[in-house]
Amino acid sequence: MAKKKTVLFGQRKSRNFAFTLVDILISIFFFLFLIPFFLTLLQQTGNYLIKLIDYRAAYNRAFSVVSLLRYPIFYCGLGVPTDVDGYKQSFGNSRFQPFNWTGPVSVVKNPLGLENAELRIVFAKCDYKKLKSNFKYKEQGKVISFTKKIDKNTIVASNSGAPNNIKNCIVFRSSFPNANPLVVRWVSSDRYFLEVESYLNDEYFQLYKNDKMYLLSALKVFCKNAILYTNDYKISGDQPRVDGIQDIRFYLDNNKNFITIYILSRGKFQYNDYKKIIGIERCFPELESEWSVIKSTYQLYVYKTVWRLPNCLSENLLFAKD
């Protein structure tokens, strides 16, 4: 009969402990071997998230500017002449802004003297007040009536002479002849009636029932000290609108049918060194060379957008011959 081998408890414990120690040493070895890869991956992920958050902050700033300009650009020139002479004549050659501008859309130097850095735009804003009946100027007098009461402070009457306030003027889409801004001379006490006058068509023009009244509006847009400012001529002074806009430029084509806008917006984080502008290759050479010298510890991004000015089509496009 075979003798059963006896294994001491101490020996078994020692062998189990030795095996566990080897296991731990192997684990530590693999951990030390793999930890640089994990740290590198973690660092790259962190850098990517920082860049993504930074870009998103800059994009949101640029998108705020685009949202601010979308409505004025789409309704730019609605109901007013687009040529310089016709535009000024339609407001009695008034010496006040925006009536003395060179048309419903123009680009000039900003307060810092930078070229193409200030946009001046005249547009119409729908007030949703409808004409009560058809109207023929002078044949039916000078007073037009509406189906609803006109809100207070939306219109200010100019008793005589050229307008001096943007609230003095209104326009209608269906006016015949078109591009015929009207100067309000009188507002009835119940605010259902307006007396109007036209500098372009002082003998005759026609309006149609249910046509909506549009309030003439104006906007001046420029950038100063990394803040986008606007002036809507309804509140005194310039109003800061979007922070973090380093610069903005506007370019009109020769016929003023399209406007190209370049927005230089900054990200959220400030770094220890200067950052190269991302997307600067989208700019044309002159602007690229000008912006390339800008040194900023914020990451700067270029956003470009091109918009059509649907109400400023030139006669060359409207009456083109084959």
Q: What does the pLDDT look like over 204-213, one tens digit per residue?
A: 999 999 999 9
Q: Quote the Cα angle for 284-285-288, to 5°.
A: 85
| 307/256: higher pLDDT | 307
Residue 45 to residue 41: CA distance in whole angstroms = 6
User: What's the pLDDT score for residue 318?
Assistant: 39
Q: What is the mean pLDDT of residues 206-229?
A: 96
Lowest mean pLDDT among 31-35, 148-152, 223-227, 266-270: 31-35
Lowest mean pLDDT among 165-169, 189-193, 317-321: 317-321
pLDDT of 45 higher than 90: no
* Residue 234 vs residues 26, 217, 226, 295: alpha-carbon distances, Å: 76, 8, 24, 36
Q: What is the mean pLDDT of residues 303-307?
A: 96
Counting residues of the chain whose pLDDT is more than 70, the rounded percentage is 90
pLDDT confidence of 304, banded at 50, 70, 90?
very high
pLDDT of 96 higher than 80: yes
Which candidate, 304, 318, 317, 309, places its Cα nearest to that of 74?
Answer: 309
User: What's the pLDDT score for residue 319?
Assistant: 36
Q: What is the mean pLDDT of residues 217-242?
A: 93
User: What's the pLDDT score for residue 114?
Assistant: 94
User: What's the pLDDT score for residue 22?
Assistant: 67
Residue 132 to residue 137: CA distance in whole angstroms = 15
Estimate to the nearest angstrom the gap between the alpha carbon of 189 and the chain centroid: 38
pLDDT confidence of 315, banded at 50, 70, 90?
very low
